[in-house]
Amino acid sequence: MILAWLCFFDGLVAVAVMAAGVIGAHFGHAAPSVGFQLFIIGLLNAAISLLLGLIAVPLSILSPSRKPARVPAIIGAALSLVLLAGVASVVVPRLKYPPINDITTDTAQPPAFVHATQLPGNRGHDLSYSPVSRQVQEHSPVYATLAPLTLPGPPAQVFKRVEIVAGEIPSWQILYNDPATYTLEGVATSTVFRFKDDFVIQVRPGDNGNSVVEMRSRSRETPADLGSNYERIESFFYDLQHPPHPAPPGTPQAQP
């Protein structure tokens, strides 16, 4: 039965192409965007295989003459279902995030990128915080709790804590450090496809002798970040408040 074997081979192609996309991007054999495109192509093959399987499996069960086609149809459909379900389990919970890729703790005065504009991956791109991103972020309930982090102590002391914690994150590379403006810039690399996201952290004077940590994170290659930038900011602020190692003398602790 042709449909059954098409289902089987499409399922195998889906596995191979998706794996090639992930492995190629993760280990640097392909650009992240190329690896991701291969992954999507494989995902489309999985969807086609599943549709074919939904036809071929019942036919192979109902028709005795098609019984030999039952096994390849079931294998192809099962492979595709596992692939699609696995991706859906990751993506669907993240659909609550609106389709923007630039998140900041201060939409009125977001930290500006200085060094990032000179990086090869950003040349020719406008890294300013767009009015669209501001409007979407301000009106999205999912970002309602995102706010600057207040820490006790003057900016110079708080900036020391920021430097230490940011430098301990394995997936981050700090590329710009300006103690005069208490600003850090760097690049975060995603785990699977190795996408590069730019971030900037700035410490500003606060009230009553406190300091305020502002942060902005922006994806380079994807128009929708599925919450990765928001989670990066929240994770970093958590690390600032719950450092994995005792703070050196003279560095401030977060307010409870």
113: DSSP letter: P
**The predicted structure's pLDDT at residue 136:** 96
pTM listed for this prediction: 0.85
Q: Where are the domains of the chain?
A: 2-96, 102-241
Lowest mean pLDDT segment, chosen from 65-74, 110-119, 211-220: 65-74
Bridge-partner residues for 154, per DSSP?
none
What does 37-54 look like in DSSP terms, one character per residue?
HHHHHHHHHHHHHHHHHH
- Across residues 37-46, what is the average pLDDT? 97
**Contact present, 254 and 149 (Cβ < 8 Å):** yes
Choosing among 3.40.50.1010, 3.30.530.50, 3.40.50.300, 3.40.50.20, the CATH entry for 102-241 is 3.30.530.50
243 falls in which pLDDT band (50, 70, 90)?
A: low
Q: Over 60: is that where the pLDDT of 110 sits?
A: yes
- Across residues 201-208, what is the average pLDDT? 95
**Contact present, 11 and 51 (Cβ < 8 Å):** no
